[in-house]
Structure 1
Amino acid sequence: MKLNMAILGFGKSATRYHLPYILLRKDINVKWIYNRNRKFELEKDYENCNISFTDNISDVLNDDDVKLVTICTPPSTHYNLANLCLLNNKNVLVEKPFATTLSETKKLLDLANSKGLTIMPYQNRRFDSDFLVLKSVIDHGNLGDIVELESHIDYYRPEDTSNNLDYYNGAVFSLGVHILDQAISLFGRPEKVFYDVKSIRNPANADDYYEIQLFYNTFKVKLKTSHLVKLPYSRFTIHGKKGSFIKRSIDRQEEFLKKGILPETEGFGLDTPDDYGIIDYINDTGEEITQFIKTPSGDYGRVYDSIYSTIMDHKEKLVKDDELLTVIEILEKAFKGDNPKIITL
């Protein structure tokens, strides 16, 4: 059965990270795209897709065929638009960040649950190829008990003229929300959290640097982003009692999409052998094993496969409510009190 949906917003998020994947799904149909300021020149790229464009949100809300709405508008609008869609009996997928506060998040989840609707954040980086290979290494158990995981997404962008004054436009809410979600999906709710969050390039703007450490009973997870890293760290470094795994390069889907290479292209987003991660561990017979681990294919469209199954087949949500609440709670507390600091959850 086909799932009819709409997208609110028609910027880079919608055109780069959503539509190229949705349009490959035969069981999902984009019926509407709403944008307050119509972009007629971009609409021409989708003339053969049978999508209706509108600057009147009522066209979406009053269409009973539309069962799912994806929100790709600026973060400050996410709560009000998601609330409006739920009130009009639409299931909702929300781009990052899901909301700007924990209170907003709880209200949206409560409303959705009271109406029997699905609402979920668009955590596409759960289907990054680098994260998928990390998860497979952990699941295989060759590293033994985990001691430490370090996760980086860094850039070298020395100039900051963005004028992002609001905290939810900074690095923590835009990138931290992804790598924090990855950690929570693997290990659950931590016991304590360390924060070091600041703006280095332009103190008048939102944060462009963070280090967040999650403390569990016997191990910790370190999450970092900086816009002043010229020689990059490894994307993932994980150590266990039996060995280590390092994945140096990041998922390549974004690299391909920026070049205009679409997901249906053969070889889309695939790592070369030089990009594969390396594992070194001691096996059960005491032998040291060192090998490269082939990177699986990443696919952001799998978020849509998942939410289709949740809405149409009543399967469990990809991002569970308690995971979402934990992520937003940790993000929000980054901006309460002094930095650096450590808190108990």
Structure 2
Amino acid sequence: MSISVENDFSLAYDKVTNKKEIDDMSLKMAIIGFGKSTNRYHLPYLKQRKNIEVKYIYNHRRHEDRETQYAGLGIRFTTDLNEVLNDDEVQLVTICTPADTHFDYAKQVLEHGKNVLVEKPFCKTVMETKQLLTLANQRHLIAMPYQNRRFDSDYLTLKEVLDRGYVGEPLEIESHMDKYRPDKAIHTGDKINGTFYGLGIHMLDQMVAIFGRPQAAAYDIRTIQNEESTLDDYYQVDLHYGKLKVTVKTNPLVAAPYPRFIVHGTNGSYLKYDIDQQENDLKLGIMPGDTHFGQDTPDKYGRVKYHNQNGDWIEKQIPSLQGDYGRIYDSLCDSILNGKEKLVSDAQTLLDISILESGIQQPTPSVVHF
């Protein structure tokens, strides 16, 4: 067996990002909502993009303590939504509000002739999703979900491992986002506010982006911490693609470290521990543009073990590619201003919501064929 670090792996970054020069573009936008999502997952990345101007942030009430950190950016904070919707300069509106408000806000934005980016989940039902996508297409606008975890470092690296054929034909993939967070509180409300819709959408979309529509899905969605809760906190979904089975799973009571990704194929295996570090850095106040932002340390790199052409077992440490949630906006700029195909297609958006909705429509466990 030989063990090495694949030093040239980071050279694949430009190929994976599909990066292009977009300095000649200019886009004015607004954000609806001024909570954690806006402040953690959008504004830090938008501040790094010289070609995008955030003209407005609308919220039902002002938060002057938060607003001060954006002084000098020229953002107008308003409690008047009509001010945003009736401004012809605004080309794009991002919706960062509670999930059950997404449909109504997105519909208003589209009806006022503006493109819309919607935080996850895009909508609750396939019917709502079709309404928004149809309205957008009729008005030659873009409506798209904010699937930022397509730009997680761990996910980008997984795609590159598969593309390079290290494991051969993939036969089994496990995607885990587990944690240890005991919570005995009673959580009730609409299923759109549960863990499956809130986090499962990311994990499902990552797999849909690679493998497309599954033949069937087997669901186990439930509450394991408090039997009186009506909102799920645990899910395991097995997506079946012929010989390939893809499992996405979240468990809130996992104390021991478990791999983020496990891949077994006809030629080898790949394991990666720990999640993309962008969120952890953002929580600490380390921002995009700061040195080493979002980077894995070498002890967190994934490892692949495979047969080479001589039949020897090779084991390599795979440096993690650089993640960047702001690339959603780079892509969206290119779509709005240059007419390029959007990152998340309508078919993918509908499939994501269909898999979610199918999972909550019948008692668990269940199997649905697509």
Q: State how far apart, in whole Å, the 1-side matches of 2:226 and 2:270 are.
A: 35
Aligned to 1:236: 261
Question: 2:215 aligned with 1:191, yes or no?
Answer: yes
Residues 101-134 of structure 1: per-residue CA shift (max 9 Å, x gap): 1110010000000100001000000000000100
Residue 43 of structure 1, aligned match among 60, 67, 90 = 67
Residues 34-57 of structure 1: per-residue CA shift (max 9 Å, x gap): 001111111111111100000000
Residue 74 of structure 1, aligned match among 73, 93, 98 = 98
Question: 2:121 aligned with 1:90, yes or no?
Answer: no
User: Taking every aligned residue pair, what percent have the same amino acid on both sides?
Assistant: 50
Aligned to 2:21: none
Residues 4-24 of structure 1: per-residue CA shift (max 9 Å, x gap): 000000000000000000110
Question: 2:297 aligned with 1:272, yes or no?
Answer: yes
Map 1:152-163 to 2 at 5 A: 152-161=176-185, 163=187
Q: State how far apart, in whole Å, the 1-side matches of 2:363 and 2:188 are.
A: 20
| Larger RCO (alpha carbons 8 Å, 6+ apart) | 2
Residues 318-339 of structure 1: per-residue CA shift (max 9 Å, x gap): 0111111111001001111111
Runs of 4 or more consecutive aligned structure 1 residues displaced over 4 Å after TM superposition:
none
Q: State how far apart, in whole Å, the 2-side matches of 1:162 and 1:267 are.
A: 40
Q: State how far apart, in whole Å, the 2-side matches of 1:163 and 1:196 are.
A: 19
Map 1:146-295 to 2 at 5 A: 146-161=170-185, 163-203=187-227, 204-295=229-320
Residue 157 of structure 2, aligned match among 130, 133, 138 = 133
Aligned to 1:327: 352
Q: State how far apart, in whole Å, the 2-side matches of 1:331 and 1:159 are.
A: 24
Which runs of no fewer than 5 residues in structure 1 stay unpaired?
none
Residue 26 of structure 1, aligned match among 50, 58, 61 = 50
Deviation at 1:160, TM superposition (A): 4.1
- Whether contact under 8 Å (2:186, 2:226) holds in the other structure is no
Aligned to 2:28: 4
- Whether contact under 8 Å (2:180, 2:252) holds in the other structure is yes
Residues 69-95 of structure 1: per-residue CA shift (max 9 Å, x gap): 000000010000000000000000000
Q: State how far apart, in whole Å, the 2-side matches of 1:112 and 1:15 are.
A: 27
Q: State how far apart, in whole Å, the 2-side matches of 1:224 and 1:339 are.
A: 15
The residue type paired with residue 40 of structure 1 is E
Give the count of matched residue pairs. 345
Aligned to 1:112: 136
Moved more, 103-112 or 35-44: 35-44
Q: State how far apart, in whole Å, the 1-side matches of 2:365 and 2:121 are.
A: 23
Say which SS state the counterpart of residue 264 (structure 2) adopts: strand
Q: State how far apart, in whole Å, the 1-side matches of 2:279 and 2:99 are.
A: 20
Deviation at 1:162, TM superposition (A): 6.6
What is the alpha-carbon root mean square deviation over aligned residues?
A: 0.9
Question: 2:356 aligned with 1:314, yes or no?
Answer: no
Which runs of no fewer than 5 residues in structure 2 stay unpaired?
1-24
The residue type paired with residue 314 of structure 1 is G
Say which SS state the counterpart of residue 66 (structure 1) adopts: coil
The residue type paired with residue 104 of structure 2 is N
The residue type paired with residue 275 of structure 2 is I
Residues 145-169 of structure 1: per-residue CA shift (max 9 Å, x gap): 1100000001111114373422111
Q: State how far apart, in whole Å, the 2-side matches of 1:283 and 1:115 are.
A: 53
Q: State how far apart, in whole Å, the 2-side matches of 1:162 and 1:187 are.
A: 37
Aligned to 1:339: 364
The residue type paired with residue 275 of structure 1 is K
Residues 174-193 of structure 1: per-residue CA shift (max 9 Å, x gap): 11000100000010000000
When normalised by structure 2's length, the TM-score is 0.92
**CA, structure 1 residues 246+100, in 2 after alignment: closer, same or farther (shift >3 Å)?**
same
Q: State how far apart, in whole Å, the 2-side matches of 1:288 and 1:232 are.
A: 26
**CA, structure 1 residues 312+131, in 2 after alignment: closer, same or farther (shift >3 Å)?**
same
Q: State how far apart, in whole Å, the 1-side matches of 2:183 and 2:234 are.
A: 14
